[in-house]
Amino acid sequence: MNKTNETLQVKANQKTPFVDVFMRGAVKGWNMAIKNMFPAVILAYTFINVLEKTGALEILQKVFDPIMIIFGMPGAAIAVIVTGMMTRPGGMATALALLSSGVLTERDVTILVIPIMIIGGCLGQYVRVIVASGAANKSHKYILLISGVMTFVSLWLMNLLLMLMGI
């Protein structure tokens, strides 16, 4: 009787690796969405809502337009980068909210993916990557500086790339 139970148990545990692995990945996706994406997107959309209703978004645009024009972006794009520095899905959500308000175009959003990815979540990732690796203290500021500068340079590079592609 015990032997039959054991055999049944062994057979029940032999699932196909393909299904197993896919489901494990899907659960990871679920966790990422629930713990990372949802809170960040709610934060970003609320933030943009507040900015729009108080008129602060217009002020932001007027202040940053002359600066962001160097990179070919409307001034409101700075809100995307700032939100993106805290959380990447939040930065993307800000971009999407501004897209649906008509402040950004689809081309702008295509370009903004890159700076969001580069500097995104840097406040958290600084500890998780740079400090955790134990890299020399004197190198930290350079790595952060390079990433920061690259964030803005990439705006210009992406603009160039899209122009070369004819978009």
Partner 1 sequence: MEKELIEKREKKPGIGSYVALAAFLLIFSGALKNVPVLNVFDIQSLSGAFGIVKGAEGNFVGAGGTGASQGFALCLSLMPIVMLCMGIVELTNHYGAQLAASQLFSPIMKPLMGVPGTMAISLVSSLNISDIGAATTRDMFEQGEITEDERVKMIAFQFPSCALINNLVTLMGMTVGIVYLSTSAYLLILIVIKFICCNIMRLIMKTRFYKKETVSV
Name which of 43 and 78 has its Cβ closer to partner 1.
43
Name which of 75 and 121 has its Cβ closer to partner 1.
121
Name the phi and psi angles at 104, rounded to 5.
-110, 150
Task: For residue 79, state whether it binds partner 1 (rule: CB under 8 A).
Answer: no
- Interaction pattern, residues 134-163, with partner 1; x per rule: CB under 8 A: xxxxxx--xxx-xx--x---x---x--xx-
- Which of 60, 71, 110, 159 binds partner 1 (CB under 8 A)? It is 110
Number of residues that bind partner 1 (CB under 8 A): 67
**Distance of closest approach, residue 59 Cβ to partner 1, in angstroms:** 20
Task: For residue 118, state whether it binds partner 1 (rule: CB under 8 A).
Answer: yes
